[in-house]
């Protein structure tokens, strides 16, 4: 008998955050100079993992609308932070592969917009009695 996945795993924003976490982790290991492993590479890995983790924590607190929104806001802010780290890597010449930069940047912007829209939906339609 196959068990049902946790509810947050059904969220498109979580799925996209998971995929980006994996992609950014791989990019930092394969495409950055070694000195960036513990500098900006570490920062971007942590901020991206925070996007995903805050979606999960917010989902776990979804019975309380304000708490849910609070953690979605943290997730959104971490997504913007991750964009900033990616831009810094590109602007400083540490990430020289323009295709990887462009792809990750586009996906991060899409994810941040999706988190923002999802949060607006929670604000408008959340019912604490049914969460």
| Closest C-alpha to 67, from 4, 126, 130 | 126
Better-predicted residue by pLDDT, 1 or 64: 64
pLDDT value at position 84? 98
> By the 8 A CB rule, do 95 and 27 touch?
yes
Compute CA distances 44 → 66, 87, 96, whole Å: 28, 10, 16
In this prediction the pTM is: 0.91
Question: For the segment 16-25, what is each residue's pLDDT rounded down to a tens digit?
Answer: 999 999 999 9
Neighbours of 41 (CB within 10 A): 24
Give the chain's domains with CATH numbers: 8-124 (1.20.1440.60)
Sign of CA pseudo-dihedral 18, 111, 31, 56: negative
pLDDT at residue 128, rounded to an integer: 62
pLDDT in tens, 52-110: 999 999 999 999 999 999 999 999 999 999 999 999 999 999 999 999 999 999 999 99
Which pLDDT band holds residue 129 (cuts at 50, 70, 90)?
low
């Amino acid at each position: 008998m196959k068990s049902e996945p946790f509810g947050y795993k059904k969220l498109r924003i979580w799925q996209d955050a998971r995929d980006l976490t994996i992609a950014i982790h791989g990019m930092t290991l394969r495409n950055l100079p070694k000195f960036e492993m513990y500098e900006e590479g570490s920062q971007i890995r942590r901020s991206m993992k925070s996007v995903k983790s805050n979606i999960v924590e917010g989902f776990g607190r979804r019975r309380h609308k304000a708490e849910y929104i609070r953690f979605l806001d943290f997730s959104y802010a971490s997504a913007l932070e991750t964009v900033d780290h990616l831009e810094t890597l590109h602007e400083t010449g540490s990430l020289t592969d323009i295709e990887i930069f462009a792809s990750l940047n586009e996906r991060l912007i899409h994810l941040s917009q999706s988190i923002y829209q999802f949060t607006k939906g929670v604000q408008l339609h959340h019912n604490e009695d049914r969460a």
